A and B are shown apart, each in its own frame.
Chain A
Amino acid sequence: GAGVSQSPSNKVTEKGKDVELRCDPISGHTALYWYRQRLGQGLEFLIYFQGNSAPDKSGLPSDRFSAERTGESVSTLTIQRTQQEDSAVYLCASSLDRVTNREQFFGPGTRLTVL
């Protein structure tokens, strides 16, 4: 399919372990977002990539969170030393261009459970 894909779909980990979440955006989409949705809450912006520009990391909740993106392709979100409050659905979205296309296409998300 040509949509945004994320892996794994589910991840259960123990407190203190590191996890890595992957996002494959739609081919040709220059913008990529990571969001977090905790139970009963809205989508919380984490980080934004646009082409080769420096990413906007202003939404990352702590220095345990980091993300990378190779060019305009795959992105990985890494959470180090996971805590129980990190349990959430992590959503990735891509967009053709931040100026001309305001619509974001979301992946199915990765449900992270920290025990």
Chain B
Amino acid sequence: DQQVKQNSPSLSVQEGRISILNCDYTNSMFDYFLWYKKYPAEGPTFLISISSIKDKNEDGRFTVFLNKSAKHLSLHIVPSQPGDSAVYFCAARNPGTYKYIFGTGTRLKVLA
């Protein structure tokens, strides 16, 4: 049973427009959420995080929104750039542990 789900395996967006990547989770006890970006043949790289006590965190073109009542997390990229084309993973942590549960990823393609 997957506790962290990314239901969209892929997404295409025009350059300059907004990309919205979604993530749903089932465990209301998760206390910290991360987004990672992964290029082919490379390991994932940390992008942005959010604590469960917040509902929004912004870093440049990247904003993460957390809706705890809906157990839903989203990553907004605006404006999208061709270099943003990658696979994006969300991950969630159980409080008091060091284990993160990762989603299956969403492949974003930004079209020039």
The answer to whether A and B assemble together is yes
Q: How far is the CB of A49 from chain B (nearest CB, A)?
A: 10
Q: Could you write out 28 A-B pairs with CB less than 8 Å apart?
A: A4-B43, A40-B104, A41-B104, A42-B4, A42-B89, A42-B104, A42-B105, A43-B44, A43-B102, A45-B99, A45-B100, A45-B101, A48-B98, A48-B99, A50-B98, A95-B98, A102-B32, A102-B49, A102-B93, A103-B46, A103-B49, A104-B46, A106-B43, A106-B44, A106-B45, A107-B43, A108-B41, A109-B43
> Is chain B's binding surface mostly helix, strand, loop or mixed?
strand
Inter-chain contact B43/A42, CB cutoff 8 Å: no
Decide yes or no: A104 and B100 within 8 Å by CB, A42-B89, A91-B43 being known contacts.
yes
A98 contacts partner chain B, Cβ-Cβ < 8 Å: yes
B6 nearest CB neighbor, chain A only = A42
Contact with B along A65-86 (1 / 0, CB 8 A): 0000000000000000000000
B42 contacts partner chain A, Cβ-Cβ < 8 Å: yes
B32 nearest CB neighbor, chain A only = A102
Please give the residue numbers on chain A whose beta carbons come within 8 Å of chain B beta carbons, in ascending order. Answer: 4, 31, 35, 40-45, 48, 50, 56, 59, 91, 93, 95, 98, 102-109
Count class of interface residues, chain B? 20 to 34
Could you tell me the distance between the alpha carbons of A102 and B98 in the complex, rounded to whole angstroms? Answer: 8
Could you tell me the distance between the alpha carbons of A24 and B62 in the complex, rounded to whole angstroms? Answer: 30
Of B34, B43, B102, B105, which contacts A102 at CB under 8 A?
Answer: B34
